[in-house]
Structure 1
Amino acid sequence: MWAALACVAVWSAGETRAFGHAPNTSYLKIEIAPGLIRTRFTLDVLTILRVAPTFDANLDGEITEAEARAALPDLEDYLREHVFLDIDDSESGWGDRLELEWPNTERTALPRRDWHQILVPFTASRSLDSNRMPRDLLVTYDVFVEWGIQHRVLGEFLLGEDIKVPVEFTLDAPDYLFDVAHALGEKHSGA
């Protein structure tokens, strides 16, 4: 009986690891506040390497934080050229430079065997004039040739603590218009 329980425990541990990150999936979170839009892109290492091969500059199969930081301008250029943000019907861009958040607290190198499941977050902030709320945001992904036609981006628009709107970007649905005014109106009307 103990052997059977041990097998279940090992199998369960394998399941957690295998399904911890869905393949061909990236993530986007956009927090909207008066005067500020904060964006968090989260990509697995294999997706990053498709567009910024210098992420493993020395090709040793381990990505150090120094390598990742050195490659950050390549990734940032790619994202700015292929993922678009329009605010109130005007092309706006993502704001300041991307900030890399290293995915492990030990700050150790990322080994090749885990590249398919290691998620690396990047953040950017954009200030808005006069501390105002935008009327709407349009996000467009033009990445599916490089990232793969099966790739999807799971996104979320956040307005404060109360309003969370999930969205999925795919080859067939590469953009989404988030109507901030409508979302705020629904919240205030109790809908």
Structure 2
Amino acid sequence: MTDPLHFTQRISAPPQIVHHAFTRPMLIRQWLCDFAFVAPENSFFLVWNDGSRVMGALLQDEPDHLILSWQNASDGALSQVEVAISPAEGGSSVTVTHVNLHDSAREAAEIFWTTALNQLKIALETGSDVRLEKRPMLGIFPSQLDAEKAARIGVPVERGVYIDGVIEGKSA
């Protein structure tokens, strides 16, 4: 086991909203993962589109302090995440402490929490999901090619993909 990892982020949002962002599935999905399920008995399941999964339980749920058991499905190792939320000028200060990590998981956890807290800050301050904004975007508007459209434009096929338009400044 390694020493605990600590991550702190200042966020221009009230502590109650920050707390909800860690405990409400709809808000969790806006910054942390692609699917979140929180059961009535406080167990949770998080899934990312790349297939990553984390499960655990909310062991302590206070307005300014959360403790979660945290088990990454890729290695099965059980660890613990503590979240401290305090009022700060213009919003909140959030400190995440990840404890009981195996040495092999330390670097991945550092990257994960640094990125996640940045995404939380952006989501709560702007309403944007930076994960969506940074996705590559193909600069076309595709639609279905049907027999009528094929006859109109004079192509020798009756189905396929038709490009309805392009997005200025994007590549295709």
Same fold judged by TM-score > 0.5?
Answer: no
Structure with more relative contact order (C-alpha pairs < 8 Å, separation 6 or more): 1
Structure showing the higher strand proportion among its residues: 2
Bin for the TM-score computed over the shorter chain: under 0.3
Query: What is the TM-score when the length of structure 1 is the normalising length?
Result: 0.24
Looking at CA atoms only, which structure, 1 or 2, has the larger radius of gyration?
2
Query: What is the TM-score when the length of structure 2 is the normalising length?
Result: 0.26
